[in-house]
Amino acid sequence: MGDLGFAAYLLVGLCQILLSAQLLSGLAGVQPSLAFSATPSEWPLDTFDLFKPTIGELIQGQCQEVPSGIGIPAFQPGIFKADVLRMLGTPNRTTRGYWPNTLAVSYELIPEQVSLGFLFDKNSQRIRQTEASFNKNVDTQVVLLTLNGMLGCQINEQIEQGLQQVWQGESWHYHFKLDTLKGVIQWEGGDRLYIGIWEADLH
């Protein structure tokens, strides 16, 4: 994770979430399409005032078979590289992965605010590790929704509490396991929250 040699951060599982202006208040560079771009354009957040779903509605809608609305794409382990590239375009950086037979790519989804990263298996072309990094000014509900997507919409109360404990400074990091996945939530440099989720047999 931190050993990848660059800030590889990402979001979860080929789903998009409808975000209200309140949730996006800490973010900049939103564009009126079905996904954020690696080179977002400037749009006033007032554009999205008509969308005001609750956090529960957002989490429920995140797992729809056919996603709709404006949102942050979140990718879970197992998603194909081609699907990531189709949604996010050309990565900002591509390097050899730290772990054997892996390729690492990263996106500055919203410069200085939200970064995404992926570790792909070179043979299967699927995600082995998914990562996301958030500036401390990003709304915690956006972080929560992203984490849920990275977990394939399987977030539980314990993991949600772990996120809140780290975010509020009660703990510097939180490690967890969920089925065949392992993960960590931690602060990096004091102002960036890092989330990494990987297949348990990766490392």
Where are the domains positioned within the chain?
Answer: 2-199
pLDDT given for residue 100 in this prediction: 87
* Residues of the chain predicted below pLDDT 50: 1-53, 55, 65-70
- Percentage of the chain lying above the pLDDT 70 cut: 65
The single-letter DSSP state of residue 100 is T
Strand partners, 85: none
Pairing of strands 114-121, 102-110: antiparallel
pLDDT digits (tens, 9 = 90+) for 67-99: 443 457 789 999 999 999 988 999 999 999 888
Strand partners, 103: 96, 120
Phi then psi dihedrals of residue 126, to 5 deg? -110, 155
The single-letter DSSP state of residue 51 is -
